[in-house]
């Protein structure tokens, strides 16, 4: 029984490690690509911006949209996915029986 619990814990830790590494990779991509988009917008030709949209630069939509997904990945990898949370819940349920 102890070996099974240890293997399960290692499997959960492995899953959490994969999520954290995935988040870091996504963060690096986010920074590089959004920096490129903002530079492209900044040095780009602005002669076509004769509308009310000129107050809101187009890279803002990419940054905000991707940022929401990045925030979700962060919370999934670092906040809500603690390896000891399952053990705490198990002990709490075991105490109620």
Distance CA 51, CA 61 (A): 17
3-state secondary structure 22-76: HHHHHHHHHHHHHHHHHHHHHHCCCCCCCCHHHHCCCHHHHHHHHHHHHHHHHHH
- Condensed to tens digits (0 to 9), the pLDDT of residues 71-91 reads 999 998 888 866 676 677 777
Q: How many CB atoms lie within 10 A of CB 70?
A: 17
Terminal C-alpha separation, the chain? 19
pTM of the model: 0.73
- Condensed to tens digits (0 to 9), the pLDDT of residues 36-62 reads 999 998 898 665 555 555 678 889 999
């Amino acid at each position: 029984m102890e070996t099974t619990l240890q293997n399960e814990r290692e499997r959960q830790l492995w899953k959490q490690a994969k999520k954290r590494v995935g988040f870091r990779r996504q963060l690096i991509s986010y920074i590089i690509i959004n920096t490129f988009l903002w530079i492209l917008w900044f040095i780009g030709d602005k002669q076509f911006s004769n509308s009310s949209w000129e107050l809101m630069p187009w890279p803002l939509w990419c940054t905000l949209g991707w940022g929401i997904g990045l925030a979700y990945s962060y919370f999934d990898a670092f906040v809500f996915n603690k390896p000891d949370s399952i053990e705490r819940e198990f002990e709490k349920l075991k105490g109620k029986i």
